[in-house]
Amino acid sequence: MMTFFSEQSFRRQAATELHGSTLVAPFETPRRMEIVLEALARAGLEVRAPGDYGLEPVKAVHDAGYIEFLANFWPAWQAEGRTGEAIPSIWPARTLRSDRIPRSLGGKLGYYALAAETSLCEGTFEAALASKDTALAALDHVLETNEPSFGLCRPPGHHAATDQFGGYCFFNNAAIAAQRALDRGKKRVAVLDVDFHHGNGTQQIFYRRSDVFFASLHGDPDVTFPYYLGYADEIGEGEGEGFTANYPMPPKTPVSVWMQALEKALVEIARTECELLIVSLGVDIFEHDPISTFTFTRDDFTALGERLAKAGLPTVFLMEGGYAVDDIGVNVVSVLQGFEARGGANA
């Protein structure tokens, strides 16, 4: 399976994450990519660098003011004499106005953030651009060859909404790829999010549309980040009603139960006659992941790949979460090899 990865993804070297009540080194670290690349090499999978797709595909999904904010924030932050990484401290919450964007950097930071755990630092914008280039190169490979591909995206993307960052995500790679697939002629695309955390950004972007079917299998938002989205009664609105499906599950959900939810999602993907499958591949469903509570083993990831192959659709895998760093490479490759072993979409 062809893999795409950009060395520019290493440009983001954040040192700070607000975890609970403590500032810690981020769980989303460049080392994750190094481990996956090592595992891909051992498996004999070819890795290519993506081309530069520019900002137009991003503008098709994200708000122009938000893009400008990310592009210009770090130089402006430094110009104000700030020496540390930027963490938002206030938001336009329910009792405040959300129709005005403050001129101050601190105000803008809170306006465009959905959570406080993800800092902004040097290289963030450049890494986000590289990540979406990776996703688009993987998507184009599938469209042009009908062979599956893997985009080793960093930063991840599924928490990024139209005009908000958070959960380590800045541009929504899966949404950008889905929109490009539609622009290139696909009538309907499925985005299947198997990350432990709900793909709130992807859902928000497509919630009122019927040309993208979004399904997410994730931890119960009553007790799991990002908390405020991902309940089972969220099924889309207006034209998009029936084109969103959420499968929230409690901590320590058995893999057998998780797989039953996957079967339901795949039935819905078939029902909605999707022509392409984009998998938001989070391997933080692993039993030893430090910030997740599902129970997958290495063999379960192989079984996941095998089951996705049976969907019989052209398939793009895009990297999302996975924070058990020592195991992330093996787990990712297990999914890809399981998919290829079943001959997924002409693998």
Model confidence at 189: pLDDT above 70? yes
CATH of domain 2-63+122-346: 3.40.800.20
* 141 labelled catalytic: no
Secondary structure string (H, E, C) spanning the chain = CEEECCHHHHHCCCCCEEECCEEECCCCCHHHHHHHHHHHHHCCCCEECCCCCCCHHHHCCCCHHHHHHHHHHHHHHHHCCCCCCECCCCCCCCCCCCCCCCCCHHHHHHHCECCCCECECCCHHHHHHHHHHHHHHHHHHHHHHCCCEEECCCCCCCCCECCEEECCECCCHHHHHHHHHHHCCCCCEEEEECCCCCCHHHHHHHCCCCCEEEEEEEECCCCCCCCCCCCCCCCCCHHHCCCEEEEEECCCCCHHHHHHHHHHHHHHHHHCCCCEEEEEECCCCECCCCCCCCCECHHHHHHHHHHHHCCCCCEEEEECCCCCHHHHHHHHHHHHHHHHHCCHHHC
Beta bridge partners of 216: 193, 246
In this predicted structure, what is the pLDDT of residue 342?
78
Amino acid letter, residue 21: S
Place of tokens 């999302």: 320
Residues 157-183 have a mean pLDDT of: 98
Percent of the chain residues topping a pLDDT of 90: 97
Residues 35-54 have a mean pLDDT of: 98
In this predicted structure, what is the pLDDT of residue 21?
85
Confidence band for 37, pLDDT divided at 50, 70 and 90: very high
Q: What is the pTM of this model?
A: 0.97
Q: What are the domain boundaries of the chain?
A: 2-63+122-346
Confidence band for 345, pLDDT divided at 50, 70 and 90: low
Compute the distance between CA of residue 135 and CA of residue 95 in angstroms, rounded to an integer. Answer: 38
In this predicted structure, what is the pLDDT of residue 73?
97
Model confidence at 264: pLDDT above 70? yes
- Find the catalytic residue in 62, 141, 158, 159: 159
In this predicted structure, what is the pLDDT of residue 97?
95
The token pair that represents 247 in the structure block: 């499968």
Compute the distance between CA of residue 291 and CA of residue 322 in angstroms, rounded to an integer. Answer: 9
Confidence band for 83, pLDDT divided at 50, 70 and 90: confident
In this predicted structure, what is the pLDDT of residue 344?
60
In this predicted structure, what is the pLDDT of residue 347?
58
- The whole-chain average pLDDT of the chain stands at 97
Percent of the chain residues topping a pLDDT of 70: 99
Largest distance between two CA atoms of the chain:
56
In this structure, the chain runs to a length of 347
Model confidence at 20: pLDDT above 90? no
Residues 192-212 have a mean pLDDT of: 98
Model confidence at 346: pLDDT above 80? no
